[in-house]
Amino acid sequence: MKLQRKNRLRATALGALAVSGALVLTACGSDNNSGSTGGSGENTKAASNIKCDGAKDKLLASGSSAQKNAMDLWVKNYMAACTGVEVNYKSSSSGEGIVAFNQGTVSFAGSDSALKPDEVAESKKICKGGQGINLPMVGGPVAIGFNLEGVDDLNLDAATVAKIFNNKIKKWNDKAIAKLNPGVKLPDTAIQAFHRSDDSGTTQNVGKYLGATAKADWPYEAEKKWPAPGGQAASGSAGVAAQVKQENGSIGYFELSYASSQDINTVKINTGAAEPVEATSENASKAIAAAKIEGQGKDLALKLDYATKAEGAYPLVLVTYEIACDKGNKAETLSTLKSFLTYTASEEGQKVLSDAGYAPIPAEINTKVRETVSSLS
């Protein structure tokens, strides 16, 4: 089992690293991107189905680091098809992306949580005659990664996760962890929990999950800023993953693609189902498939069931939204914005997600996303 798991993670890691290397300029927000074609035959085939539809010049966006690896793939394919167009996505955080969008410095933002009412109100200053709306584009599991010498498989439940990140459980051989892992030799090693230092939609989704499943042990509101005492902070999902990778006894949360690319072991969550559930794209899809649209009008914000006990459904999931104006988008970038988001929401664009450790948006919801994108003005 250990060898199979390592091989699977390593294969995913190699693919993710290859993409990351090819797209480092885009990921860093460089202004030196070009629309040159190239890449594998598979990417060329995907790019051949992209409709450029008047796209031109440069499209700026920023926000969620959760979707970075997916966005890298999308940008590569899109720029290969639409020569002369530059899409520049700066991977930062959901909070920074929303601020940039509401300041009018980017055409769209990526956020792992839907706009709040005050953020919608603020967006009306930029979206002349309209407002910012949430377009669900990327789904996936938030993995709880750990680094513990001698332990490769670990089961935790929501209450234990909450106590670890709330600084209540401080040793790996704590009886609460041992009870969930019979037969596993747990060392008397101090737990070092890492969380995001920046305002993060990933943090907010972790808070929503713990608030829905372990309220007694997680008495905090689900916000983008980390609320609990103790632990250490790192910037971005990449920063948290890097810290967990290098420190024995550590634990942290980040999207599955970061765990896969760095060969980090991930926790299986005991949800009350027959078996603990592993963080995989397939298992996340089972949870996201039950999501309901709760947004009004063209807004497609989703309500997720973090407390699901369905067999094989991984409950700690997030959906990353692309945030754009329903009306009042900048005229000079509107065609490029619609063309690019039409591709990301297409069947081809969504297929890219599974290959990169994410979960496609359910077809019924994605159909509405495409309809909304086509109506942007």
Read off the pLDDT of residues 141-172 as tens digits, 9 standing for 90 and up. Answer: 999 999 999 999 999 999 999 999 999 999 99
Residues 50 and 72 in one domain: yes
Q: Which among 358, 333, 344 has a CA at the least distance from the CA of 137?
A: 344
| Crossing angle (nearest 10°) for helices 347-355 and 68-81 | 140
pLDDT at 45 over 90: no
Residues 105 and 243 in one domain: no
Domain boundary among 264, 287, 310: 287
Conformational region of residue 279, where left means phi above 0, alpha means psi within -120 to 50, and beta covers everything else: beta
Which is more confidently placed, 2 or 221?
A: 221
pLDDT value, residue 49: 84
**Separation of alpha carbons 89 and 112, rounded Å:** 15
Confidence of residue 231 (pLDDT cuts 50, 70, 90): very high
Residue 163 lies in a domain: yes
pLDDT at 274 over 70: yes
Domain boundary among 237, 267, 287: 287
What residues contact 195, with CB distance under 8 A and at least 6 apart?
165, 203, 226, 228, 231, 232, 233, 234, 240, 252, 253
**If you average pLDDT over every residue of the chain, what do you get?**
89
pLDDT value, residue 371: 98
For the segment 335-353, the average pLDDT, to the nearest whole number, is 96
pLDDT at 317 over 80: yes
Which is more confidently placed, 85 or 7?
A: 85
CA 298 to chain centre: 22
* CATH number reported for the structural domain that contains residue 222 in this entry: 3.40.190.10
Residues 148 and 98 in one domain: no
Range of the domain at 58: 2-139+321-375
Residues 128 and 213 in one domain: no
pLDDT at 256 over 90: yes
Residues 177 and 273 in one domain: yes
Residues 206 and 219 in one domain: yes
**Separation of alpha carbons 262 and 258, rounded Å:** 6
Residue 301 lies in a domain: no
Domain boundary among 229, 263, 287: 287
Residue 293 lies in a domain: no
Residues 135 and 150 in one domain: no
Contact 342, 49 (CB under 8 A): no
Residues 35 and 92 in one domain: yes
Judged by average pLDDT, the poorest of 9-13, 146-150, 306-310 is: 9-13
Residue 294 lies in a domain: no
Residue 311 lies in a domain: no
pLDDT value, residue 33: 32
For the segment 249-256, the average pLDDT, to the nearest whole number, is 97
Residue 312 lies in a domain: no
Residue 36 lies in a domain: yes
pLDDT at 351 over 50: yes
Residues 68 and 199 in one domain: no
Q: Which among 242, 220, 302, 315 has a CA at the least distance from the CA of 276?
A: 315
Q: Which two structure tokens, joined as six digits, stand for 369? A: 């996303």
**Separation of alpha carbons 251 and 164, rounded Å:** 9
Residues 147 and 271 in one domain: yes
Contact 157, 323 (CB under 8 A): no
pLDDT at 8 over 50: no
pLDDT value, residue 48: 63
Residues 249 and 358 in one domain: no
Q: Which two structure tokens, joined as six digits, stand for 330? A: 């900048």
pLDDT value, residue 30: 31
pLDDT at 204 over 50: yes
- The total domain count for the chain is 2
**Separation of alpha carbons 105 and 39, rounded Å:** 30
pLDDT at 29 over 70: no
Residues 237 and 199 in one domain: yes
**Separation of alpha carbons 260 and 249, rounded Å:** 19
pLDDT value, residue 159: 98
For the segment 235-249, the average pLDDT, to the nearest whole number, is 97
Residue 302 lies in a domain: no
Measured over the CA atoms of residue 273, residue 274, residue 276 and residue 280, the dihedral's sign is negative
